Structure formats: structure tokens, C-alpha cells
């Protein structure tokens, strides 16, 4: 039982409890634990075997009850509590809940009132028109749900990278530990860090390929073996996507890795160059002449070898989409892409002053542990009543801006060795005004403006909304600019070039929100922003001390061709201060 599988079980419990309308705190506890486990570097199984449930209970956010459930999962491979829940809630309801605009309450409602048990039932109900007559739904919201069902279907069986990657890494660890493989690595779109993944590709070298296949097909993740040969296997994983494993000869590993990493378009382009040089490149190697297998094989143990045979430098996987990278490589002008170590700061994170679950001091200390030398604490300032945080013209201590500023400064004083800006993530209202007053905004060091409601505006309205927000002198950054949720909510309809132009004129940063459900800006827009001279800010949007990892964001930035020079929080603290001061002037 791997961490990823345990996390999956906990997420399932959270979803099922939500549909049953149970206590939100209890649901949140399962979600938090799952999120923690997905990023936990040690194997839970090992922790459990070494120290029992007591050791598990000491991990952050786990506690006694969850520790016992995890123990049961590890011991028996199943969990009675989850089985009971699954019996009581129809299987298809989890897909219904995932449709944007549905959520747990509405899912529970259509299940109880209209006996909706799956997506098809929901679609039928929406079409029948009966739902629009129900109080609190309305024609508009039902239409939105109809559209969301379509989006949901189009997304199909692809997984967001944040769900696929931990599973692939767990598969990798199992294969490594089997000691049957000499090398094993991730290939395919996962190695190119695409934001959604259709299937998992793994590549290995081994002296015992058949034993590797047997081991792989017998792993607990595997729901069904689709095809199995002596050197390759294709299985359906329990999470619903397929995984391929191939064992290749170490002498041609580089050629195979290049081939199976793709993309197809990139491979075709490289092969065309090879042909012009009288060579043939395939998954089986690089050969002289135009007939593979017949010509003499040229060294291709590594990908560097393969690129060298056609006169190219190494091209990082994130760039391999045939969107100009091969041409630039030919001229030896590939960009030096952003590296994780380039990021000095994190300018978007929340504490329990708004909807985060760590105190200000805990969040600052955690950011420091994550290697940041400066941060901005940016609790929400939201017009929505249900979102806690800063409230405009609040007479109470709780939401008052001046009180917030004092609290952040006091928390910052308790943690040495990290610089803390007092910031806020302020709602951009539907007409483009910012939610806080000018006098309140002036008290803050750093203001992110974000859209959190009224997503369905016309292109003209939505664009005007952002342009007007950017005219406010206090605003320094637009948070998650498209507002999309991968596999869920669609995007604002924006005239992006107009937004980029204004951002460049006013030197306002656009965020690349590194949370894998957002990854917003996306790769294509990062590159467009760069070409128009806009700075991008790669932020965690952490809501918990464990959420400072920005790996997905860094790779998305690399897919968007961003270099250190394009990224605001790659500036060291002194340079960032200069940038902030210049903007004030
Ligand atoms: Zn936000
Ligand atoms: Zn946020």
C-alpha cells in the first residue's frame, strides 16, 4: 500500500462524507490528511511497521482515528469504513459532485429529491427543465450546469498532473525497490510536465525483463492487465488511467527515452533533420542510412547522444512540443529555463486570518524552511460574506486592515532570517474596482488582485474588469488570472493581449499560480506574456504549512519558456525592494 493509494482512499472518504452532508470539519480533516500524504517523502507503510499507529498519529494532521484507518489499510489492503460508505452512496455521485456548480449540497439534493445516481441521470434531469423550477436553482444556474457537464465530459479520462505524478512516482519506487531494474524512469507527457496526463509511460533497463513484467502487473495499483509481452506491459490502474512499462536494451536507452518522451511532433521534426544527415532515428536506436536495423547503429545510450548525432544540444523535455525549440536548438540559442533554485520568494499565501489553516507565524516559519528568503502574507480581502479575512471599513478588530498589519508585523518579528511583506489578496469586483478602500490599500506593502466571483461575464466586461483593476496604483499582481480550475471551472473570457499590454505598461506582474488545480497562467500564456514584456510571479498560494512546494509551477513556467529574468520572485530581496519602490513612484 503506497502513500498515493492511502491518500486516494482518504479522498474518497472525504467526497462520500460530503455527499452525505456530514460535518465539514471532519471532511476537511480527511482532505488535509490526503494532501499531506501525497507530499510526504517517507513511506507510510514503513512508518507504520516501525512505530505502529502511535507513530502515524504523531504525523501532522493524522491523529488517532486516521492512524487506525491507515493501519487497517496497510494490514488488510482495504478499509471497512470506506466500504460501508461506498455501499450507502451510489458510485456515480462522485462524478456528479465534481461538475462545476454542483458541489456536495446540491449533489445530495438531486440524489434525495430526484434519485440522481450518476452523470447521465443529472443530464436527463437538467434537460427535463424540472430543476429550473426548484427554489434556489434558477434557469441560469441550471444552464451553467449543463455546460459544465459538457466540459467535464470533454476532459474525459485525463488526470491533472498533481494526481498522476504521485502515482507514477510510487510505481517508480516500487520498481526500484524490486531490484529487478538497472534503471527506471518516467517518460511521456508526464516527463514533459503537461498539466493533464492521459496515461503513464515508464521505461526501464533490466537483465530480467520478464520478471519485471510479472512484478509490474502484480502491483496493488493495477486493476486489470490489458496486454503483457516479454518486454512490455500495458495495464489499467485503479485510478482509471493506463500505465505502460517497457524494458529496453541499455545500449539504446537514450533513443527509446527520446522516442517515448515525445511529443510526436517534436520527434517527427528531429527525425526529419536526421534523414537530411543520412541517419534514421527510432525507438530502437540511431542508424546510418535510411533503413533502420540494416545500417550501422550509432551510440545512443543517452538522450544527449541522440541529440548529438543530429547536431543538436540537449533539449529539455518541457520544451519538446515542436513550437520552435528545434529551430532554436539548431542555432544553439535555447533559453536557460527557470530552475526551482532560482525562486527566492513567495508572494501569495494565506494564514488562518482568512481561509488558511496555519497561524501567521507557522506560515512564515514554514516558508523559511522551504528555502524562501522573503514572502508576502496575502490573506483574503473578499466581498463574500463566507470568506473570512480582511473586511473593508471594518470597525471590529477581526477584519480591520490596521489590526491585520499589526498582527503580520508582530508574527514576522518572531521569525528571524526571512523578510515579510504585509499583503492581501483583494477581490476584483465585477466592475473592476478593488474591494478595499484606497486608504486601506495604502497600508499594505503588496496587493494581489484576484477574481473570485462573477465568472461568466462577456469578453468586453471581463477584460474591462481586469484593465480597470490594473489602473489602481496599489495593485502589483493579478492572481490566477484566468480563474480556471483544471478539469473543473472554465476561464474568464479575456482579450489576453490587452491584459498583457496593460500589465507591461504598468509593470504589474501576472501570477503563475503553482497549485496543480490551477497552474494559471498556463504554458502558452506564460510565453505570450514573456514576449510582451510582462513579469510572471510563480506563487504557491499555500493555505497550509505543508503547501509551499511550487514544483508544478516551476515546470509549467519552463513549458512556457520562462527564464529567471522573466520571473519577479526570482529577484533577490534587495532587487525586489527596488522594484516595489519604483512602482510606487
Ligand atoms: Zn485566489
Ligand atoms: Zn489565494
* Gap from CA of 425 to ligand 1 centroid (Å): 7
Compute the distance between CA of residue 533 and CA of residue 15 in angstroms, rounded to an integer: 43
Please list, residue by residue across 241-262, b when 16 or more beta carbons sit within 10 angstroms of its beta carbon and e when fewer do. bbbbbbbbeeebbbbbbbbbbb
* Gap from CA of 350 to ligand 2 centroid (Å): 6
Starting at the edge strand found earlier in the chain, the sheet holding 297-298 runs 279-282, 285-288, 297-298
Name all domains of the chain by residue range, CATH numbers in brackets. 3-155 (1.10.150.110), 159-247 (3.30.460.10), 252-330 (3.30.210.10), 340-584 (3.20.20.140)
Spell out which residues have Cβ within 5 A of ligand 2, the ion.
425, 541
> What are the phi and psi torsion angles at 79 (to 5°)?
-140, 115
* Gap from CA of 480 to ligand 2 centroid (Å): 8
C-alpha R_g of the chain: 26
Which ligand sits closest to the CA of 350?
Answer: 2
* Gap from CA of 491 to ligand 2 centroid (Å): 17
* Gap from CA of 455 to ligand 2 centroid (Å): 16
Which ligand sits closest to the CA of 539?
Answer: 2
> What are the phi and psi torsion angles at 420 (to 5°)?
-125, 120
Please give the grid coordinates belonging to residue 504.
Answer: 507591461
Which ligand sits closest to the CA of 541?
Answer: 2
* Gap from CA of 491 to ligand 1 centroid (Å): 14
- DSSP assignment of 271-304: HHHHHHTTEEEETTEEEESSSTTTSPEEP-SSHH
* Gap from CA of 320 to ligand 1 centroid (Å): 31
* Gap from CA of 546 to ligand 2 centroid (Å): 15
* Gap from CA of 499 to ligand 1 centroid (Å): 18
pTM above 0.95, yes or no: no
Please say whether the beta carbons of 470 and 502 come within 8 A: yes
pLDDT at 221: 81
Please say whether the beta carbons of 509 and 536 come within 8 A: yes
* Gap from CA of 348 to ligand 2 centroid (Å): 6
* Gap from CA of 351 to ligand 1 centroid (Å): 13
pLDDT at 222: 87
* Gap from CA of 377 to ligand 2 centroid (Å): 10
Residues lower than pLDDT 70 in the chain: 39, 154-156, 291-294, 583-585
pLDDT at 41: 74
Q: What's the DSSP call for residue 225?
A: E
pLDDT at 237: 87
Please list, residue by residue across 460-472, b when 16 or more beta carbons sit within 10 angstroms of its beta carbon and e when fewer do. eebbbbbbbbbeb
What dihedral do alpha carbons 437, 442, 446, 452 form, nearest 10°?
0
* Gap from CA of 382 to ligand 2 centroid (Å): 11
* Gap from CA of 425 to ligand 2 centroid (Å): 6
Compute the distance between CA of residue 37 and CA of residue 175 in angstroms, rounded to an integer: 20
Which ligand sits closest to the CA of 483?
Answer: 1
* Gap from CA of 247 to ligand 2 centroid (Å): 43
- DSSP assignment of 99-142: STTTHHHHHHHHHHHH---SHHHHHHHHHHTTGGGSTTTHHHHH
* Gap from CA of 567 to ligand 2 centroid (Å): 19
Which ligand sits closest to the CA of 424?
Answer: 2
Which ligand sits closest to the CA of 450?
Answer: 1
Based on DSSP, count helices (H) and strands (E) in the chain, helices before strands.
24, 17
* Gap from CA of 479 to ligand 1 centroid (Å): 6
* Gap from CA of 450 to ligand 1 centroid (Å): 6
* Gap from CA of 36 to ligand 1 centroid (Å): 21
Which ligand sits closest to the CA of 451?
Answer: 1
* Gap from CA of 572 to ligand 1 centroid (Å): 25
* Gap from CA of 370 to ligand 2 centroid (Å): 18
Amino acid at each position: 500500500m503506497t502513500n498515493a493509494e492511502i491518500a486516494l482512499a482518504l479522498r474518497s472518504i472525504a467526497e462520500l462524507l460530503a455527499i452525505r452532508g456530514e460535518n465539514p470539519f471532519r471532511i476537511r480533516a480527511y482532505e488535509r490528511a490526503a494532501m499531506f500524504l501525497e507530499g510526504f517523502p517517507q513511506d507510510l507503510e514503513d512508518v507504520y511497521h516501525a512505530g505502529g499507529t502511535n507513530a502515524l498519529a504523531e504525523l501532522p494532521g493524522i491523529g488517532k482515528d486516521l492512524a487506525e484507518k491507515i493501519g487497517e489499510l496497510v494490514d488488510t489492503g482495504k478499509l471497512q469504513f470506506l466500504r460501508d460508505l461506498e455501499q450507502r452512496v451510489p458510485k456515480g455521485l462522485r462524478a456528479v459532485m465534481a461538475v462545476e456548480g454542483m458541489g456536495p449540497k446540491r449533489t445530495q439534493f438531486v440524489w434525495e429529491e430526484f434519485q440522481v445516481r450518476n452523470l447521465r441521470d443529472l443530464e436527463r434531469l437538467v434537460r427535463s427543465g424540472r430543476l429550473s423550477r426548484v427554489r434556489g436553482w434558477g434557469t441560469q444556474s441550471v444552464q451553467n450546469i449543463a455546460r459544465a457537464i459538457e466540459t467535464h465530459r470533454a476532459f474525459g479520462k485525463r488526470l491533472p498532473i498533481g494526481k498522476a505524478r504521485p502515482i507514477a512516482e510510487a510505481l517508480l519506487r516500487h520498481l526500484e525497490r524490486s531490484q529487478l531494474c538497472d534503471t527506471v524512469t518516467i517518460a511521456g507527457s508526464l516527463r514533459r510536465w503537461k498539466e493533464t496526463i492521459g496515461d503513464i509511460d515508464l521505461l526501464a533497463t533490466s537483465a530480467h525483463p520478464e520478471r519485471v513484467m510479472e512484478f509490474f502487473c502484480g502491483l496493488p495499483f493495477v486493476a486489470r492487465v490489458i496486454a503483457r509481452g516479454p518486454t512490455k506491459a500495458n495495464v489499467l490502474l485503479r485510478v482509471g488511467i493506463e500505465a505502460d512499462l517497457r524494458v529496453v536494451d541499455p545500449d539504446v536507452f537514450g533513443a527509446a527515452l527520446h522516442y517515448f518522451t515525445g511529443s510526436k511532433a517534436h520527434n517527427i521534426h528531429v527525425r526529419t533533420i536526421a534523414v537530411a544527415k543520412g541517419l534514421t532515428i527510432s525507438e530502437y536506436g540511431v542508424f546510418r542510412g535510411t533503413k533502420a536495423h540494416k545500417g550501422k547503429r550509432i551510440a545512443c545510450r543517452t538522450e544527449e547522444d541522440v541529440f548529438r548525432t543530429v547536431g543538436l544540444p540537449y533539449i529539455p523535455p518541457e520544451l519538446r512540443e515542436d513550437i520552435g525549440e528545434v529551430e532554436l536548438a539548431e542555432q544553439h540559442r535555447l533559453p536557460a529555463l527557470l530552475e526551482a533554485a532560482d525562486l527566492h520568494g513567495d508572494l501569495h499565501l494565506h494564514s488562518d486570518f482568512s481561509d488558511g489553516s496555519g497561524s501567521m507565524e507557522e506560515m512564515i516559519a514554514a516558508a523559511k524552511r522551504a528555502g524562501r528568503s522573503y514572502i508576502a502574507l496575502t490573506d483574503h480581502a473578499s466581498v463574500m460574506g463566507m470568506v473570512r479575512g480582511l473586511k473593508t471599513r471594518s470597525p471590529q478588530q477581526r477584519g480591520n486592515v490596521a489590526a491585520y498589519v499589526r498582527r503580520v508585523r508582530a508574527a514576522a518579528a518572531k521569525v528571524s532570517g526571512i523578510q515579510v511583506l504585509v499583503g492581501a489578496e483583494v477581490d476584483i469586483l465585477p466592475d473592476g474596482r478593488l474591494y478595499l478602500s484606497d486608504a486601506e490599500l495604502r497600508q499594505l506593502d503588496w496587493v494581489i488582485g484576484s477574481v473570485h466571483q462573477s465568472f461568466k461575464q462577456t469578453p468586453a466586461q471581463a477584460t474591462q474588469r481586469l484593465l480597470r483593476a490594473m489602473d489602481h496604483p496599489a495593485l502589483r499582481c493579478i492572481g490566477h488570472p484566468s480563474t480556471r480550475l483544471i478539469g473543473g471551472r472554465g476561464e474568464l473570457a479575456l482579450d489576453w493581449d490587452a491584459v498583457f499590454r496593460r500589465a507591461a505598461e504598468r509593470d504589474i506582474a501576472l501570477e503563475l499560480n503553482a497549485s496543480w488545480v490551477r497552474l494559471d497562467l498556463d504554458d502558452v500564456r506564460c510565453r505570450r506574456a514573456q514576449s510582451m514584456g510582462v513579469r510572471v510571479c510563480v506563487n504557491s498560494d499555500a493555505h497550509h504549512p505543508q503547501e509551499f512546494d511550487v514544483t508544478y509551477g516551476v515546470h509549467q513556467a519552463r513549458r512556457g519558456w520562462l527564464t529567471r529574468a522573466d520571473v519577479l520572485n526570482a529577484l533577490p530581496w534587495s532587487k525586489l525592494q527596488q522594484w516595489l519602490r519604483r512602482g510606487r513612484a
